[in-house]
């Protein structure tokens, strides 16, 4: 599945895609930006492979590659932490490689993840970031999440869908 946004697209990972990235092998004709895959994304891809091999399929609430539409360059990743919880919330996380941060791509990805969550029955989208990560906070707000709680070290964000 590919979700096409304004300047980026989100490509849902298959197990084969995840294995290929974990092995450091781009698809034929695929180009990765410098620093891709990022360290955090490796953990999500390992979990994806283990889940798939255990028969668990998150459907569209899985992990995505973030690609520039203009040239299909892979610049990051975005993931859901799983299906909606007992309150209907899904948590998201994303990362864009350093060479492409600050250009609004992360906010666009957040907006796309909100749309995916809505289409898959979630009632809320939530995310949390370190207080010191001001760029990530701006991306979350720019993509449609609002700050709900600020602690000493973590800021929590949410977007609630109208009933």
Q: pLDDT for 89-102, tens place per residue?
A: 999 999 999 999 99
Give the per-residue pLDDT at 16: 95
Q: Kindly tell me the burial class for residue 162, based on how many C-beta atoms sit within 10 Å of its own C-beta (0-12, 13-18, 19 or more).
A: exposed
Residue 74 belongs to what H/E stretch? strand 74-80
Long-range contacts of 94-98 (CB under 8 A, 24+ apart): 94/66, 94/139, 95/38, 95/40, 95/41, 96/66, 97/33, 97/34, 97/35, 97/36, 97/38, 98/35
| Domains of the chain, each with CATH number or no CATH | 2-160 (3.40.630.30)
DSSP code per residue over 127-161: EEEETT-HHHHHHHHHHT-EEEEE-SSEEEEEEE-
The one-character DSSP state at 62 is S
pTM value is: 0.95
Q: What is the mean pLDDT of the chain?
A: 95
Give the per-residue pLDDT at 40: 87
Give 59-83 pLDDT, tens digit per residue. 999 999 999 999 999 999 999 998 9
Give the per-residue pLDDT at 26: 94
Give the per-residue pLDDT at 155: 98
Distance of alpha carbon 59 from alpha carbon 31, whole angstroms: 25
Q: Does the structure show a pLDDT above 90 at 163?
A: no
Give the per-residue pLDDT at 162: 83
Over residues 109-123, the mean pLDDT reads 97
Give 6-21 pLDDT, tens digit per residue. 999 999 999 999 999 9
Over residues 148-155, the mean pLDDT reads 98
Residue 23's region, left for phi above 0, alpha for psi from -120 to 50, else beta, is alpha
How would you label 67-92 residue by residue, b for 16+ Cβ within 10 Å and e otherwise?
A: bbeeeebbbbbbbbbeebeeeebbbb
């Amino acid at each position: 599945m590919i979700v096409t946004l304004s300047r980026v697209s989100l490509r849902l990972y298959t197990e084969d895609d995840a294995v290929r990235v974990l092995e450091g092998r781009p698809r034929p004709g695929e180009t990765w930006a410098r620093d891709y895959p990022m360290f955090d994304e490796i953990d999500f891809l390992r979990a994806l492979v283990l889940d798939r091999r255990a028969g668990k399929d998150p459907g569209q609430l899985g992990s995505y590659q973030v690609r520039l539409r203009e040239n299909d360059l892979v610049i990051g990743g975005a993931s859901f932490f799983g299906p909606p919880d007992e309150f209907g919330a899904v948590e998201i996380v994303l990362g864009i490689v350093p060479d492409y941060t600050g250009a609004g791509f992360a906010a666009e990805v957040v907006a796309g993840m909100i749309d995916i969550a809505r289409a898959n029955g979630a009632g809320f989208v939530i995310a949390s970031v370190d207080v010191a990560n001001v760029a990530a906070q701006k991306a979350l707000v720019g993509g449609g999440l609002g700050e709900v709680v600020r602690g000493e070290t973590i800021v929590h964000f949410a977007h609630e869908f109208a009933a």
